[in-house]
Amino acid sequence: MKSAFSVCYDVYSDKNEDTTPFHKPGWIPFDNSTKKDELFRLCPKPWRYEKPALTDAVPKWGQFSLYPGGGFIADLGYDIKTALVILETLQRHNWLDRQSRSVILEFAAFNPSTNFIVAATYFYEIQSSSFSAPLENINIISVYSKETGSHQFYLVCILLFIIFVLLYVGRMLQSLSATFTIFPVLLELDGNLSSFGLGTSCGNEHCSISQGRLDS
């Protein structure tokens, strides 16, 4: 086996995890003579190990291992354009290599029109045999309890508004004559609906990706 493989990497565990504080892009070790103020310039964030206590992340169970929440983390920003630029940089410098054992993608999205937060976590784990397995975990969280008086009042207002719209449509349809088409009525109905501020809005989304690596 040694003649076929120069280096063999074991399965992931917290005991053999790579916790080297700094790497240069491409997992190049930095010179010990490098000044401390230059480390952050030479070693971008995705190549710095972050301890679980500093990430505010909770341990997560994948299919094969428990991940404590630390690792090498890449912040993908809030929009697709920024995320694609960062992912291209990571791919160019081989951020994922043979020592990578897990990739965890996390993001959260908030919709203010429904007061729901969607928190999603996607795992991609790699065994020493090169067997890989994906796993997803999606949670939908309500920001405000549905049992509060304000939420019930909001639901009553929505119900009354729907009833008003149905009555308005029924009255307009009854007043149509055979010589009129329905197109002007729809235009008027659209104008009335827009005056009530109907619409949807989406909140900001934040996304990050992290990996657990084996010690070399």
By C-alpha distance, which of 188, 18, 197 is closest to 102?
A: 18
Asked if the model's pLDDT at residue 85 lies above 50, the reply is yes
* Residues 99 and 216: beta-carbon distance below 8 Å: yes
Q: Phi/psi of residue 56, each to 5°?
A: 55, 25
Q: Please report, for the chain, the start and end positions of each structural domain, with discontinuous segments joined by +.
A: 36-143+203-213, 149-195
Q: Using CA atoms, how far apart are residues 70 and 78, in angstroms rounded to an integer?
A: 21
**Tens of pLDDT, residues 15-33:** 888 888 888 899 988 777 6
* CB-count exposure of residue 115 (10 Å: 0-12, 13-18, 19+): middle
Q: Phi/psi of residue 2, each to 5°?
A: -65, -30
Would strands 116-126 and 132-142 be described as parallel, antiparallel, or unpaired?
antiparallel
**Tens of pLDDT, residues 104-134:** 999 888 888 888 899 999 999 988 888 888 9
Asked if the model's pLDDT at residue 78 lies above 90, the reply is no
Q: Which residue has the tokens 């996607």?
A: 122
Among 24-33, 36-45, 59-68, 196-205, the range with the most confident prediction by mean pLDDT is 59-68
Q: Using CA atoms, how far apart are residues 213 and 216, in angstroms rounded to an integer?
A: 9
3-state secondary structure of 155: helix
Asked if the model's pLDDT at residue 88 lies above 90, the reply is yes
Q: Using CA atoms, how far apart are residues 28 and 182, in angstroms rounded to an integer?
A: 70
In sequence order, what are the residues at sequence separation of 6 or more whose Cβ sits closer than 8 angstroms to the Cβ of residue 42?
Answer: 22, 24, 30, 34
Decide: pTM greater than 0.85.
no
Q: Using CA atoms, how far apart are residues 50 and 20, in angstroms rounded to an integer?
A: 9
